[in-house]
């Protein structure tokens, strides 16, 4: 690549950044990213996990080039690319979006200039509804149930997880490397955010976790959407906490307890750590109550 090309790209990128800073409330406070460092941890084979701010990123770096899963926030794009460069990579050829939330697809306007973006149909339709997004930020290849990429000596399978976190989530399974990126179908060690306004349901979320436990190899490495790299143990714990807390809130509602009283009483000290993240105990109880009401039980 020539210097003038990369300078040109930087200009385009600067213009995009300026546009986004002006139009997107998510990026209005760019300084919230000023201290963020993007760090890489090796997972297995060609697969690395990148952390910064927002959802965990996976990259496969090898002879075929770079494939990336999710891209956090636009102001971090250059730092994410630098971390990939340090792993010996170049600009990603493929970008897989686990779902449409801004902390996972914020970098699409940057990375979509060079990469083919792939995601579930509903990711594209939801992103296309955002008039602020340029067309390069939209998935080019979309699917209903799943598809496989054959890249860096691995089969990388995208598997749709219906009506869980949203209605358009996919897990990404690096079969040879034995790594599974679950996106926001897993918030490791904390209550999950479930987007009930975007087709998510608590029952679906639990069913998806149960399906992962049934079908994934027992020694698979798990990259959660949020939280540390882990194993199926994190999935098992999350499923058990979600089922137990949903049953508890459903029982309280059936007994005629009001939502504010349920919040007042709380879920129990055994869940104290689970409510320490983005979704505190009150928000989780409200999600559960709304889901139980919608499901009729």
**Nearest distance in Å: CB 117, Zn ion:** 17
In terms of CB distance, is 130 or 264 closer to Zn ion?
A: 130
Determine the 3-state secondary structure of 101 from DSSP: coil
Q: Which residues on adjacent β-strands are paired with residue 147?
A: 158
Name the residues that contact Zn ion, by CB under 5 A: 55, 101, 103, 184, 225
Q: Taking a C-beta distance cutoff of 8 angstroms, is the pair 226, 49 a contact?
A: no
**Nearest distance in Å: CB 103, Zn ion:** 4
Contacts of 68 (CB under 8 A, 6+ apart): 57, 58, 59, 84, 92, 94, 95, 96, 111, 115
**Nearest distance in Å: CB 224, Zn ion:** 10
In terms of CB distance, is 101 or 120 closer to Zn ion?
A: 101
In terms of CB distance, is 79 or 126 closer to Zn ion?
A: 126
In terms of CB distance, is 46 or 164 closer to Zn ion?
A: 164
Q: Taking a C-beta distance cutoff of 8 angstroms, is the pair 156, 131 a contact?
A: no
In terms of CB distance, is 103 or 237 closer to Zn ion?
A: 103
**Nearest distance in Å: CB 70, Zn ion:** 9
Q: Count CB atoms within 10 A of the CB of residue 165.
A: 28
**Nearest distance in Å: CB 167, Zn ion:** 12
Contacts of 138 (CB under 8 A, 6+ apart): 108, 112, 117, 124, 127, 128
On the 0-12 / 13-18 / 19+ scale of CB atoms within 10 A, 11 is: exposed
């Amino acid at each position: 690549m020539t210097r003038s090309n990369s300078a040109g790209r930087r200009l385009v990128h600067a213009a995009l950044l300026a546009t986004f800073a002006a139009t997107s409330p998510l990026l209005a406070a760019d300084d919230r990213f000023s201290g963020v460092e993007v760090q890489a941890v090796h997972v297995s084979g060609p697969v690395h996990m990148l952390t910064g701010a927002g959802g965990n990123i996976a990259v496969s770096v090898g002879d075929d080039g770079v494939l990336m899963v999710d891209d956090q926030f636009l102001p971090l794009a250059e730092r994410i690319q630098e971390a990939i460069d340090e792993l010996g990579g170049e600009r990603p050829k493929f970008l897989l979006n686990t779902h449409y939330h801004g902390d996972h697809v914020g970098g699409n306007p940057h990375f979509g200039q060079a990469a083919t973006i792939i995601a579930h149909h509903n990711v594209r339709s939801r992103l296309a509804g955002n008039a602020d997004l340029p067309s390069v930020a939209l998935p080019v290849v979309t699917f209903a149930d799943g598809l496989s990429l054959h890249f860096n000596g691995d089969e990388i399978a995208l598997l749709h997880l219906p009506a869980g976190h949203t209605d358009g989530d996919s897990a990404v399974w690096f079969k040879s490397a034995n790594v599974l990126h679950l996106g926001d179908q897993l918030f490791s060690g904390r209550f999950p955010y479930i987007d009930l306004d975007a087709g998510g349901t608590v029952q679906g979320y639990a069913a998806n976790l149960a399906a992962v436990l049934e079908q994934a190899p027992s020694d698979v490495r798990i990259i959660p959407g949020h939280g540390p790299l882990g194993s199926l143990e994190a999935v098992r714990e999350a499923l058990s906490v979600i089922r137990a807390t949903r049953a508890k809130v459903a029982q309280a509602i059936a007994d005629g307890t009001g939502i504010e009283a349920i919040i007042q009483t709380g879920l129990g000290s055994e869940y104290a750590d689970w409510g320490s993240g983005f979704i505190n105990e009150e928000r989780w109880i409200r999600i559960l109550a709304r889901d139980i009401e919608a499901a009729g039980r």
